[in-house]
Structure 1
Amino acid sequence: MAVSAPAQEQHMPQSEPTQSEQAAAFDNWLEQAGPRIAWRNDTINAIVQRMAPQLAQLPEGGTTAADLAMGLHRMSDGQLQAATAHQQLLDFEAAINQGVAAPSAKIAGGVDKAGLGDGSNLVFVPITPCRIADSRKADEGKLQRNVVRSYYKYPISNHGAESGCGSDHYSSIGNGDGISPALALTVTATQAEGSGHLSIKPFSFFSSFSETSVLNFRPGETIANSTVVAARTMDAPNLPDFWITPSQPCT
């Protein structure tokens, strides 16, 4: 016969773990996490060492090896593993070399339009509106709290994109050659699980998080906002163009 404990005993609060129990739990976690930590450190060190010659050539004030290492440490295991792929490393090198070739001198005051770059970088190129992503239909599903998701300036089927508005990084979304320095986006949030905000950040090797909100949302509401986000301008299709991060789960 099974005998239930009195209700008073069933609801007695559990005691806090002792200091020795906490230390044992931490040691156990460290033992299990040790191989993963070692892999991350070895991987990051290998990438930084490979990029060191290019970083050394950057103008004063440019990205340092410490900056690169810090950015890599912020990546998830999946992002870090993807960064070790041969094409990704080539894209890293291309981006750094692009910084090496850029002039280090600051632009003087009173700069006219021509001094800022060619006309294609200063002109909006109208395109037919197209839904390049929809998390309601995406393979990854709903955006999760404080989890960064990568997006491209061209449609990708597993991101829930519409069909018929360009199929690759040489699509019509750009200035004729597929390279657009920025995108005018309309972002819509719905099915939110709590009140929060959504941030969009241009792709960076060093941080995927942004403290700037482009859209505030609440449960039970569908709300949209328009913004302009800088996009990757080098031809490196394996790298994302921008990141979206919600503070609460939503689609």
Structure 2
Amino acid sequence: MKKHAIVLAMMMAAALQAQTGHAQEKQRSARGDLVYRIVTKWSGHVQEAYRADVRRWARDMVPVFSQVPLDTLAKAADAKTFDAMNDMLLNDGERANMSLMQGIRSGSLKTPEKALGDAAADLVYVPVTPCRILDTRIAGGAIAGNTTRDFDVTAVANFGFQGGSATDCGIGSVGSFAAAVINFTVVTPSAAGYITAFPLGTAQPLAATLNYVAGDIRGNLAIVKLDQGPAANELSVYSFAQTHLVGDVVGYFINPQATNFNCVETSVSTFNINANTINFFNNPACPAGYKAITPYCWTASSGVYSQGGGYNANLNTNLTFCAWQNTTGATQQVFGGNVCCRVPGR
């Protein structure tokens, strides 16, 4: 990838020099060097994040690199992020903006796809008040040496049958979840050894959740993955030596879940449009954490007509605008606001 990017950058630099044949040699060389830096720095990102054909992207970007002023190109080359580099070029005039957008429309750039959480990896932690879910001194008896015992952790209304609390410990009603945070305590093991907690139905890992010596009373906090299959139990605990075991849950990790949009409306701003003019006005900004979804634009003035609305591409503040044409001979009032949304997630 790096070798390909270097060759591509050299090709782009040569193309730029060919387009600027009447410029001074020194300026052509400086522009070529800056293009070389940008392409070698970001071609890998373009290919990975935008699933782009890098050569098509290069062809679409040549007009952008050749048209922007040299000082703007230098700032773009020094940008720390790809978005910041794009902003430097996009904010330097309509031609650069249109050239970059052409890359997206032509297919050399594609919008990155983002998902709301990976169901297996992007788990959400929920803390709970510490609560006992198992105690073999009260129910079940000591775990025999070199054996495994299974325990129920999720969808339990009363943990009393395992020697735990006579409640659901604040986790019984949440359904299945992927992992639990449990403080395990061994009580008077018969010999030195260890316990290993692991998901039900899986191979016992070569790892120790807690190490102990004979007669010990010792605890350790562990995050334990749980089985999410149809079995009643989700957790297995192996013990090297005979021991009693106590388990107190302090939290759990649950799978992410898409939720409905949470939307608000901004205040409505009033703008004055002069007689016989066409103009646009930026709408109020969204609250922190929200993004503008759509502008709303209206007027009660006869002879004033909407010319559309959308995002203001020249600003980095997620502002939308409303455009108007006033065909009357007097100043008229128009109004604009934003519908702003966020995805709360879980």
Per the normalisation by structure 2, the TM-score is 0.34
Highest CA radius of gyration, 1 or 2? 2
Per the normalisation by structure 1, the TM-score is 0.46
Query: Larger relative CO (CA 8 A, sep 6+): 1 or 2?
Result: 1
